[in-house]
Structure 1
Amino acid sequence: MDAVTETAPAHASNAPPAGPFAPAMPEESRLNMPEQKLSRFDPATERRKFVNKFSSPWLSRFITFGGGLALTGWGAYEMYRVIDVGGITFLKWVLLVLFLANFSWIALSFAASVVGFLHLLFVRPKPPAQPEKLSTRTAVVMPIYNETPSRVFGALQAIYEDVEATGLGACFDWFFLSDTTDPDVWIAEERALLALRGKLGPQARVYYRHRAKNTARKAGNVGDFVARWGGAYEQMVVLDADSLMTGHAIVSLAAAMEADPDAGIIQTLPLIINRNTLFARVQQFAARIYGPVIADGLSCWMGRDGNYWGHNAIIRTAAFAAHCGLPHLKGKPPFGGHIMSHDFVEAALIRRAGYSVYMLPSLGGSFEESPPSLIDVAARDRRWCQGNLQHISVLPAKGLVWPTRQHFATGIMGYVASPLWLAQLLVGILLVLQASYIRPEYFSKDFTLFPTWPRFDAERSLELFIVTMAVLLAPKLFGLIVALFDSPTRRASGGVFGLIFSTLFEVLMSALLAPIMMMVHAGHVMHIIFGFDTGWEPQRRDDGSVPFKAIMRRHRDHVLLGFISLVAALLISPSLAAWMSPTIAGLILAIFLSWASGQKSIGLALRRVGLLVTPEEKNPPPIASRANALSEALAADGHDHADGLRALHDDPKFCALHQAFLPPAPHRARGDITPERAMAVAKLSDARTIDDAVNWLHRKERMALIQDRALIALLTRLPASGAAVAE
């Protein structure tokens, strides 16, 4: 008996093989997934833990929060002394409050990075060994939404093959969960599925489900799977459309979940790979060199009260169904409606129920990609900003442990910090302007001969500025030191000098990009405060530049603000201009930097000279190389951008399979006809050939057509192009 058969659980046969002509999905195995209440929680319902050997990480928390609080207190005292020269005015008090809000944020991050730095430097946690057997079944699910099919199907095939190579592949089933709204992409997904099943053979259990309506977006997509099929699986590994995970990582997660009955979610640390543009390679280098220190510090202090980032993690399915049904927030979007940043809330709810949520930062083999340009990351962050600001309503929910509330506060502050930083800069400029040009009116209530001038302690101010910069940059220095002490990382990143020069370049780029992102995030926050919903557009995955006109439109206000700030600062004080020079330079260069950020040629040129090189870039993980090769092979079939209607019309066998994949037609009352279906019927009735249908039917009408067997029949009866049609 081979290893696969030996390790397969007894109920493995419940999920039938999925050959090319097998049903799209296995038989349903339902779980009840009730909507949770944020305003009510009975502590008596919290489950009793099976294992009580896990103690609170009190030392890490003491260093992180005690150190952050002490550093914030010192900063508050020093800033008070800076402004306490000649009396404190109202604007000075505002400046102090804004400084505290921003400084406390970076002080806490600094203290957490100290914990991660010391832990990595002296403990050096080892990755878990690969298990020899598994006793449970795991679903590996990949939600997709208008993605390039060749990329996601090639990636999943590479992951599938790597898991099979461990000898434990019989314990896993594979699911594409499509929320695609583009009809041509939907058809391309099904064609890619059939190609994938044909390559893997009839023993492969690879399935595909397309939702007619993408209710609640990704959270609703995964929730639909759990409610309908989750009962067949003890746990599920959730991937993103750009995820890659090695077989070792996936089977190790499954083994860790089996060994820990208290675990609800176990999160990995995904590394960024496959990036070539300037901006993406800056992010890739930063995540690889600084990310482990930050993630390890986070893992140390949060212990088993951790967070979930929505992908590259394993989840206990029954616990997720019982406790993670997301409620709708009161009110309309952007603050109300369905929860967009669902992952934080799911972690909070499953932890509230008594399950543990934690990270395995030492487990390698978990990868993702990043947006290729500054504009792309700004578009993604707009959606993330809305989701994190929604957490203001979730923050006071009943029954949450305090680390969970800290995770919410961290996510909120990640975006609110930008308008606070902008406000701090503006108040600082106003104070200098008052001191230089405006007649003082700062007499106290007691009679004095002289007014209270808005003055500062320049020497103490310089010292505080230096300390603030040191605290801000320390996590990068810690990451650099850890990388220098790790021989494989050091050698694969260009050696000592390569790492140092790459770090300096990354710090320079980050300093120039920071004021642009400050303005972008501040704009997002204001946009949401004024009630505008961000929507949910698919993310660009490929390298490539944004049209220059779009870049100019996006950043022209930033450039104008930069020039205004420069002129104003020079008129007020040359020293003020010098102090603001990094911010001013970033804004003035915003168009150029945004253009350069998306240039693949610049990123590749830096790689040739040895800058921003990562170990995974120099020695690509085999699974990444395999995924890229498979994606290229699938793309060569030409289905990614083919017309879906022609595919259904020209290939009767595929058309029959597509209709077999469709769910049973819902009951429709007489007269209940959507405008899209009515228009599709009218246009199909008037069409003489398939060319007419292809040219006339719009996107929503096409979606109505390919979901309706009756309309598909009308389409397939149309003559081919150029065929004679009787009058």
Structure 2
Amino acid sequence: MSGYRARPTEFPLTMPDQAFRSKRARVRHRPESKMWRKLMVLVASLLLTGWAAREMYGVLAVSSLTLLEWTLLVIFVLNISWVCFAFVNATVGFFAALISLYRPRQDHADIDLTKARTVIAFPIYNETVEHVFATVLATARLMSGAPGRFECFILSDTTDPDVALTEEAGYRELQKSAPGDVTIRYRRRTINTDRKTGNIRDFVTRWGGRYDYMIVYDADSYMERETILNLVAGMEAAPRNGLIQTIPQLVGAKTLFARAQQFASALYGPVLGHGIAWWAQKEGNFWGHNAIIRIQSLAEAAGLPIMPGRAPLGGSILSHDFVEAALLRRAGWNVEIRADLAGSYEEGPPTMIDLVVRDRRWCQGNMQHMAVLLRTRGLTWTSRFHLITGIFSYLASPLWLIFITVGMALSLQNTFMLPTYFADGAVLFPTWPVIDSERALSLFLATMALLFAPKVYGLLYGLLSREWISTTGVFRTAAGVFTELVVSVLSAPILMATQTGAVISVFLGRDSGWSPQARSEGGYRLQTILRHSLFPTLLGVVLTVSSIAISPIYAAWLAPATIGLILSAPITHVTSKRSAGTLAATVGGLVTPADIVTPTSFAGATAAQSSFAALKPDRLQYLILDRDRQLDRDGLVDPYWPLRQYDVHEPLAMARARAERATSAYEFATMLKPKEKMALLNSTRDLQAISFKFSSLRPRKPAGVDQSGAASISRPKRTHRHRG
């Protein structure tokens, strides 16, 4: 490892911040879109919404509408518009997906890929090294011998010193097994500004000029070799393509909750994905990973500015992907969604708690998009619609809860309060708040049909797909739909409550912070489950008591929502268990084609984990005393510190100050706080300078200690103490 350079020679590109209100912000190039597709989806959604609104008005307008009834009608229209659009999108997606089943898939056979230079980027943040580095190694092996030039680049934003040292050990291990024609690079940022967007920008502005394209992986992404080559071919074939997004399916699920999510993404995902791709065409969206980007377009058009104000609505844009896609379109680059490309995978959250934690961060990012919509000029209407759908995906939950609450308040008013429905003037008859019960039942059944139609489409798609029939089979496909339906019906009210809490938290000014996503089923203690389930459970109790007070029939009608809320803790516990997921798969439910025929990319990454299972990272106190090891790791440490001439990095300054007061390497290592340890690990010059102070105290290495420094260092015996 000594003398190896983990990073190539820099080839920078400029990536300026894009002005939201720039006078130059206009679309320079219109793609060849079929406008009738967008109009068809829009008009169909509006007609359905109008019909549902008219029916709801008919339900309420038996007599003149009261203020509460008008409120109920407005909220219903907002909610049903989202349901109608989802139904129309699924309908067109179902037919587009069926056509794709019998259409020959495009390949790269007639496109010369040998000149394309592609970097596969792995932005990571305090991730499990064994998991991520195995994926990097498997991907490098997968692309070995492929036409074109490929490199893997680990873009670490890790802030945990123990994880950082493990990454260094993992990178040494990578070099032992990496193929010769696919170089693996490693860079760990010294100062973590602007989160993931800052991580990508640091790469583009330092090495972006070396590559034509960047394929962005998440820490749990997997892609097949043919998928990667088809993405590169798609960019080579269309010089105006700025980004191509695949539809990743979930893989590797073990728990019941994860298996249900994986089954839904595998069966319903192609239907919904084909729908978006059909009407969006060259004005698609970006989901942050499992996509290829033309680096020139990213640098030119998608540098994200800092949002005015403080977090959560100000600061760095968390859901950067939607905004980057919109800015690329504003600059005239095409953004495609390729729903026909198979072989794109990712792992999902293993438990409902993990999903809620991730959703809280996504919710904050999507709420920031409201300011983007208001501030940004020159965005296409399709790009604005993508941003609006992201916002409404989270606002829908509090709106449904408000709808239930207002309807309940209306019923309670009719049941318990004295009528005050006479106007101030003289009238013959009061204004009674009555509804058309028969029409209400019809509207309820129609709404349920709209909600569950995508699942029916998914079932039909599975029964007509050769892949599903040959692997999963008819019985297991149907059983999986039923099992997923039960899990989703029980989970939906819980997620409605937690998403409502997330929206409220954002508007109360609480920042979600920045934490790595859980990617394995570690399980949660009962205390943690109860804490996360407190709000949904209390909400369920309140709704149940109120509905029973109104009418037992009303309580029965609301039961599908209230049962899930009241049983939030046991549902979360059971669905988080791996044994429950295994049982569901054993009896024939929640089995996908990827469970039967494991994707090569995922199988390779899983097998490669054994290479990193016994890593022996350095320990800081040992590293301080070992000058040879310091020199050996010099090539791993990024020397770039983005500081102005007179700026001081406080953690590094504190580490220097503590070194002056410590009397041994052991004492110094225990004095340091995590940020100070990271600063010292990121500064080879300071680490070497501090080692001179403690070199005279360096203990003789005991027998049996290997060169990695993995063995613990005993505390050196003090002979004297300097006074501070």
Does TM-score exceed 0.5, indicating one fold? yes
**Which stretch of structure 1 is more off in the superposition, 658-667 or 586-595?**
658-667
Map of 1:23-34 to 2, 5 A cutoff?
A: 23-34=5-16
Specify the alignment match of 2:593 in structure 1.
615
Partner of 2:41: 64
For 2:219, give the aligned amino acid. A
Residue in structure 1 matching 2:18, options 33, 36, 50: 36
One-letter amino acid of the counterpart of residue 376, structure 1:
D
- For structure 1, which runs of at least 5 residues remain unmatched after alignment? 1-18
Residues 60, 115 of structure 1: 8 Å contact kept: no
Matched residue type, 2:578:
K
Q: What residue is the counterpart of 2:445 in the other structure?
A: 466
Aligned to 1:657: 632
Tell whether 2:279 aligns with 1:301.
yes
Letter in 1 for 2:368: Q
| 2:197 equivalent among 219, 222, 241 | 219
Deviations 1:319-368 (A, max 9, x none): 11011111111211111112111101110111101110011111111111
Partner of 2:702: none
State the distance in 2 between where 1:184 and 1:563 align: 44
CA gap 1:255/1:200 in 2 versus in 1, 3 angstroms: same
Tell me what 1:270 maps to: 248
Aligned position for 1:702? 677
The code of the aligned residue for 1:404 comes to: S
The answer to whether the 8 A contact 2:286-2:321 is kept is yes
SS in structure 2 at match of 1:88: coil
- Cα deviation, 1:67-95, whole Å, max 9, x if unaligned, reads 11110000000000000122210000000
| Alpha-carbon shift at residue 447 of structure 1 (Å) | 3.0
1:439-478 correspondence runs (5 A): 439-444=418-423, 447-478=426-457
* Distance verdict in 2 for CA 1:444–1:245, change over 3 Å: same
Q: Distance in 1 between matches of 2:181 and 2:92?
A: 47
Deviates more, 1:536-545 or 1:672-681: 672-681
1:151 partnered with 2:131 = yes
- 1:203 Cα offset (Å): 4.6
Per-residue deviation, residues 188-230 of structure 1 (Å, max 9, x unmatched): 1121112111212555421111111111110111111111111
Conserved? CA contact 1:144–1:177, under 8 Å: yes
Q: 1:40: Cα distance to partner? A: 2.0
Mapped contact 1:544–1:599 kept (Cα < 8 A): no
**Match for 2:136: what amino acid?**
L
In structure 2, the CA distance between the partners of 1:102 and 1:670, relative to structure 1 (3 Å rule), is closer
After TM superposition, give the deviation of residue 695 of structure 1 in Å: 3.8
Cα displacement (A) at 1:609: 1.5
Q: In the alignment, which residue of structure 1 is the partner of 2:390?
A: 411
- The 1:513/1:484 distance shift into structure 2, 3 A limit, reads same
Given residue 24 of structure 2, which amino acid in structure 1 is its aligned partner?
A: D
Whether contact under 8 Å (1:684, 1:693) holds in the other structure is no
- Using the alignment, how far apart are the partners of 1:420 and 1:103 within structure 2? 11
Q: Distance in 1 between matches of 2:632 and 2:487?
A: 51
CA RMSD, 1 decimal: 2.2
Q: How big is the shift at 1:505?
A: 1.5
User: 1:426 and 2:408 equivalent?
Assistant: no
Q: Does the aligned pair in 2 maintain the 1:163–1:251 contact within 8 Å?
A: no
Q: Distance in 2 between matches of 1:395 and 1:670?
A: 38
- SS of residue paired to 2:482: helix
Letter in 2 for 1:618: I
Q: TM-score, length-normalised on structure 1? A: 0.92
Structure 2 counterpart of 1:116, one-letter code: G
Confirm or deny that 1:628 pairs with 2:606: yes
Q: Does the 8 Å contact 2:651/2:675 carry over to 1?
A: no
**Cα distance in 1 for residues equivalent to 2:484 and 2:640:** 55
Matched, 1:328 2:306: yes
Aligned counterpart for 1:400 among listed residues 350, 356, 379: 379
Matched, 1:160 2:140: yes
Say if 2:606 is the partner of 1:606: no
Distance across 1 between alignment mates of 2:683 and 2:24: 46
Deviation at 1:649, TM superposition (A): 4.9
**What is residue 686 of structure 1 aligned with on the other side?**
662
- TM-superposed deviation, 1:724: 5.5
1:253-297 deviations in whole A, cap 9, x for unaligned?
111101101101001111100110111111100000000000000
Is 1:559 equivalent to 2:537 in the alignment?
yes
- Counterpart Cα distance in 1 of 2:242 and 2:650: 42
Give the SS at the match of 2:633: helix
CA distance in 1, matches of 2:48, 2:345: 35
Listed one character per residue, the Cα deviations across residues 96-145 of structure 1 (whole Å, up to 9, x for unaligned) are 00000010001001001110111122453443224464122111111000
CA distance in 1, matches of 2:45, 2:162: 52
Aligned amino acid, residue 703 of structure 1:
M
Distance 1:313 1:485, change over 3 A: same
Pick aligned residue for 2:92 from 105, 115, 130: 115
Distance in 2 between residues matched to 1:709 and 1:689, nearest whole Å = 16
Distance 1:82-1:643 versus aligned 2 partners, 3 A rule: farther
**In structure 2, what is the Cα distance between the partners aligned to 1:256 and 1:41?**
32
- Cα offset, 1:491, TM superposition: 3.6
Distance 2:370 2:434 in 1: 37
- In structure 1, the residue corresponding to 2:187 is in which secondary structure? strand
Judge conservation of contact 1:162–1:247 (CA < 8 Å) in 2: yes
User: Structure 2 residue aligned with 1:286, among 244, 264, 288?
Assistant: 264
- CA displacement at 1:725 relative to structure 2: 5.3
Contact 1:286 1:506 in 2 (8 A): yes
Q: Which whole-Å CA distance do the structure 2 matches of 1:439 and 1:398 have between them?
A: 53
Task: Using structure 2 for the length normalisation, give the TM-score.
Answer: 0.92
Is residue 121–residue 482 contact of structure 1 (8 Å, CA) maintained in 2?
Answer: yes
Letter in 2 for 1:348: A
| Structure 2 segments unaligned to the other structure (5+ residues) | 700-712
Q: 1:687 to 1:366 in 2, by over 3 A?
A: farther
- Asked if structure 2 preserves the Cα contact closer than 8 Å seen for 1:680 and 1:704, the reply is no
What is the alpha-carbon distance in structure 2 between the residues aligned to residue 550 and residue 99 of structure 1?
35
Question: Aligned partners of 2:665 and 2:117: how far apart in 1?
Answer: 49
